[in-house]
Amino acid sequence: MNKRSYLSTILIIVFLFSLTSIQWNKELFHSGGGETLLQIIKSLFQPDLSISTLLLALKSAWITLAYAVTGISLALLIAFILGILASGVLFNSGFGRWLSFGVFRGTLSFMRAIHELVWAWLFVAAIGLSPFAAIFALAIAYGGALGRVFADILNDVPQEPLNALKSSGASKLHILLYAYLPMTASNMLSYTMYRFECAIRSSAIMSFVGLGGLGYQIQLSLSELRYHEVWTFMFFLIVLVSAVDLWSNMLRKRLIL
Amino acid sequence: MTVNKMFVLKNISKTYGEMRALSSLSLIVEKGEMIALIGPSGAGKTTLLNILANTILPDSGEVIVDGITLHAYKSTKQFADKVGMIRQQFDLVGHLKVIHNVLAGRLKDWGFFKALLSLIIPQDSKIAESALEKVGLKDKLYERTSSLSGGEQQRVAMARLLVQNPQAVLADEPVASLDPVRAKDILYMLTKLASEEQQTLIASLHSVEYARKYFKRIIALQAGRVYFDLPVEKVTEELLSSLYSLEEEKQHE
């Protein structure tokens, strides 16, 4: 037996042993837990389709989408600028490159190290329950994540075309325009679209802190045990995310061809 | 007043770690010369071209381009007016349209905003059109560069060089990845354009046959030294076979 099988055996034994610490009795579910689960599953097939709920869902979906679009647009702007600076492609070697790695990569890490929900709490505390709280929270956290990936994508391009441009007398900014950006645009766009999808889900969750939107409605309906309504809102969220997925696929196809 | 030599190399040496790429190499290239650089792989052809193109620095020795030593050049633009380089097809940006790759030869004369605007409304497009016409690709102006064949992409690179319009053109294995028919086509065009524009041309080649057919002077490198440097009519079969057999002996050691 090699080392890996030893490790696997040990891990399996540890796992089996850990099962003994669970109390296999009725307290695993709270009383009526099974009943509730059944109810939730049942209402999956009978979502509330009354006009008033549908209108409310539509309105909430619109708010969620608006937060996500505004947030991701701002994030894209921040990420584009900081990502280019953090990649170091505009700097020669030495101090400038060191500065760009230290300062801009550091800034990006700071922005994304804190979850957007925490940013949202901070902004709600500072500026109150305003849409800006949600938008800024998304823009900062997602700007950090996007910017980091943009910088990595920019650092990964093949060197030959860059050297050719450099030796034909192009400046760093020229090379950015004529090589880095065209070579990376489709990659950046496709990652941005993926992040946009995440932003919609996140924007729904963020409304739990009281900012309106689909998440807020789901929370209200849940607390009033109206599972039929919960599913209506859930379906709207699913449709929203799928629509973005479809759109991003279409965009990607057009760009890569 | 005497005309400056295009390139003067004095005792150039370059080592990569243990490997000696060029050892104490000296060379003079007059303006307007057509030179083929031959020799077994690893003889230092690419290193020599890169030193002439100012993309790598020699460990010792002096390089003088058109009367000015290399480190006295103030900007990449000033040097790009003197020397241009063409490599295998991989030096184009495949995602851009052909016209933008060709106009990239103008970037040395453009500011940032003109370059940016040109990506939307091509600037100086007449220059790009006439350059593409010279290489026979006028109808491909607005096609995506990556959709072109290898030979066509190499011609786009030549058109970019025409737009850059340097005094000397360096070509590093310009036909290495092409089939014989296209290779001849490209070499014919490269030498014809260089003589039309009164440029100096130095090309490294694997094929001795092409070197003899399209060039006037042949410089053979062997283990980082000049093995022979002769007008094409004085290059004999004996010289050539000893140039390449030395390598075989070395490999058997």
CATH of the domain at A63: 1.10.3720.10
Amino acid at residue number A85: L
CB contact under 8 A, A167 and B92: no
Q: Contact at 8 Å (CB) between A53 and A43?
A: no
Chains A–B, number of C-beta pairs less than 8 Å apart:
79
Q: What token pair was written down for B153?
A: 């992409």
Give the residue from A2, A3, A176 showing the smallest Cα distance to A80. Answer: A176
What is the rounded CA–CA span in Å between residue B35 and residue B49?
Answer: 12
What are phi and psi for residue B16, nearest 5 degrees?
-110, 100
* Paired strand residues for B27: B9
Residues of A in contact with B90 (CB under 8 A): 158, 160-161
Q: Could B119 and A160 be called an inter-chain contact, meaning their C-beta atoms sit closer than 8 Å?
A: no
User: Which domain does A227 fall in, by range?
Assistant: 48-256
Q: What contacts 24+ positions apart, CB below 8 Å, involve A218-227?
A: A226/A48, A227/A39, A227/A40, A227/A42, A227/A43
Tokens 């045990």 identify what position?
A225
Q: What's the pLDDT score for residue A74?
A: 96
Tens-place pLDDT, residues B138-150: 888 889 998 988 8
Contact in structure between B118 and B166 (CB atoms under 8 Å)? no
Could you tell me the pTM of the whole model?
0.81
* pLDDT value at residue B249: 55
**pLDDT at position B2, please?**
59
Cβ neighbors of B83 (< 8 A, separation 6 or more) are A167, B52, B53, B54, B65, B166, B167, B168, B169, B170
Instruction: Flag whether A37 is in a domain.
Output: no
Window 37-56 of A, Cβ < 8 Å to B: none
Q: What is the mean pLDDT of chain A?
A: 87
- Asked if A171 and B107 touch (Cβ cutoff 8 Å), the reply is yes
Q: Which domains does chain B have, with CATH numbers?
A: 1-82+168-253 (3.40.50.300), 89-165 (no CATH)
Contact A167, B85 (CB under 8 A): yes
What is the maximum span of chain B, computed from C-alpha positions, in angstroms? Answer: 61
- Has residue A179 been placed in a domain? yes
The nearest CA of chain B is from the CA of A246 a distance in Å of 24
Quick one: which of A180, A192, A204 has its CA closest to A74?
A192
* List of chain A residues with pLDDT < 50: 257
Residue of B nearest to A160 (CA): B91
pLDDT at A143: 95
Does residue A25 lie within any of the structural domains? Answer: no
Task: Tell me what pLDDT residue B168 has.
Answer: 93
Cα angle value B41/B43/B48 (rounded, 5°): 115
CA pair distance B45, B227, nearest whole angstrom: 12
Q: Strand B225-231 vs strand B217-222: parallel, antiparallel, or unpaired?
A: antiparallel
Euclidean distance between CA atoms A15 and A19, whole angstroms: 7
Domains held by chain A: number: 1
Question: Which pair of structure tokens corresponds to residue A248?
Answer: 């991003």
The span from the CA of B243 to the CA of B40, in Å, is 8
Report the C-alpha gap between B18 and B20 in whole angstroms. Answer: 6
Question: Within a domain: residue A174?
Answer: yes
Strand partners, B68: B65
Segments of chain B with pLDDT less than 50? 1, 253
- What residues in A contact B147, CB-CB < 8 Å? none
In whole angstroms, what is the distance from residue A45 CA to residue A23 CA? 33
B contacts of A84 (beta carbons < 8 Å): none
Closest CA to B47 of B77, B72, B80, B13: B13
Tell me the C-alpha distance between A122 and A140, whole Å. 12
Listed in sequence order, the residues at least 6 apart from A216 whose beta carbon sits closer than 8 Å to its beta carbon are A60, A207, A208, A210
